[in-house]
């Protein structure tokens, strides 16, 4: 797909089909995330966790009374180590954004997730992520197939000087 078509076709999908994504697509999405810009080139301060285990996804679902990842069959958690420059959130967002665009290009549905991170951090599930020492979950990305579509055009005010 042409880049601007991908940008315009990406949307936050909140209704996923049960169908799992293929390993080849997953691999391409992860690699796209790894190609993102990261402050000071500290890729070693970033970590990616792929959750497809139904039992663990069910456990995350049970943390609140609704699915905060919309039952996406693949939940990617981007974690980072704070290197003292406070770039962990920005770096994670860059990695996530590349993944969202890659997923769109592959005809998959995706969503950027913040709420699920707070819930995981405040529960036993944090230990189940097996993160290396010092890493903290920052951004979630839900991946799967869309049950419908709702692309909207957004506007942000611009001033020219
Ligand atoms: C930093 C950030 C956090 C977000 N967290 C959530 C979230 O926890 N749950 C959710 O449903 N959507 C979340 N979103 C998705 C936004 O609500 C969505 O991108 C926005 O409404 C625009 O819609 P679109 O992505 O379909 O274009 C988040 C997006 C960003 C960038």
User: In this structure, what CATH number is given to the domain that contains residue 22?
Assistant: 3.40.109.10
**Is residue 79 in a domain?**
yes
Q: Which residues pair with 74 in a beta bridge?
A: 143
What residue owns the CA closest to ligand 1's atom 19? 12
**Is residue 127 in a domain?**
yes
**Is residue 27 in a domain?**
yes
**Is residue 138 in a domain?**
yes
Looking at residue 91, its pLDDT comes to 97
Domains in the chain, number: 1
Looking at residue 51, its pLDDT comes to 98
Looking at residue 84, its pLDDT comes to 82
**C-alpha 56 – ligand 1 centre gap (Å):** 23
Ligand 1 is surrounded, with C-beta below 6 A, by 11-12, 14, 111-115, 152
**Is residue 102 in a domain?**
yes
**C-alpha 115 – ligand 1 centre gap (Å):** 10
What residue owns the CA closest to ligand 1's atom 6? 113
- From the list 114, 102, 137, the residue with the least C-alpha distance to 10 is 102
**C-alpha 3 – ligand 1 centre gap (Å):** 21
**C-alpha 152 – ligand 1 centre gap (Å):** 13
φ/ψ of 16, rounded to 5, equals -100, 145
Pairwise CA distance, residues 61 & 7, whole Å: 29
**Is residue 75 in a domain?**
yes
Looking at residue 83, its pLDDT comes to 75
Return averaged pLDDT per consecutive 10 residues of the chain, 161 residues in all.
Answer: 96 97 98 97 97 97 93 98 89 98 98 98 97 97 92 94 97
Range(s) of the domain holding residue 125: 12-144
Beta-carbon contacts of 119 under 8 Å, excluding residues fewer than 6 positions away, are 60, 63, 64, 68, 125
Pairwise CA distance, residues 69 & 63, whole Å: 11
**Is residue 72 in a domain?**
yes
φ/ψ of 56, rounded to 5, equals -70, -40
**Taking the CB of residue 42, how many other CB atoms lie within 10 A of it?**
15
Pairwise CA distance, residues 134 & 136, whole Å: 7
Q: Which residues pair with 18 in a beta bridge?
A: none
**C-alpha 138 – ligand 1 centre gap (Å):** 14
What residue owns the CA closest to ligand 1's atom 27? 11
**Is residue 36 in a domain?**
yes
Looking at residue 63, its pLDDT comes to 94
Specify whether the CB–CB gap between 142 and 111 falls below 8 A: yes
């Amino acid at each position: 797909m042409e880049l601007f078509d991908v940008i315009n076709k990406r949307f936050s999908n909140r209704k996923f089909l049960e169908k799992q994504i293929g390993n080849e697509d997953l691999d391409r999405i992860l690699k796209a995330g790894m190609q993102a810009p990261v402050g000071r080139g500290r890729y070693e301060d970033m970590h990616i966790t792929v959750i497809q285990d139904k039992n663990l996804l069910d456990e995350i679902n049970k943390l609140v009374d609704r699915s905060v990842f919309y039952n996406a069959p693949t939940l990617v958690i981007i974690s980072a180590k704070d290197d003292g420059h406070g770039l962990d959130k920005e770096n994670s967002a860059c990695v996530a954004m590349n993944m969202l665009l890659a997923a769109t290009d592959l005809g998959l549905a995706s969503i950027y997730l913040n709420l699920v991170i707070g819930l995981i951090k405040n529960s036993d599930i944090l230990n189940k992520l097996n993160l290396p020492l010092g890493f903290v979950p920052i951004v979630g990305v839900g991946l799967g197939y869309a049950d419908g579509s709702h692309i909207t055009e957004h506007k942000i005010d611009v001033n020219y000087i």
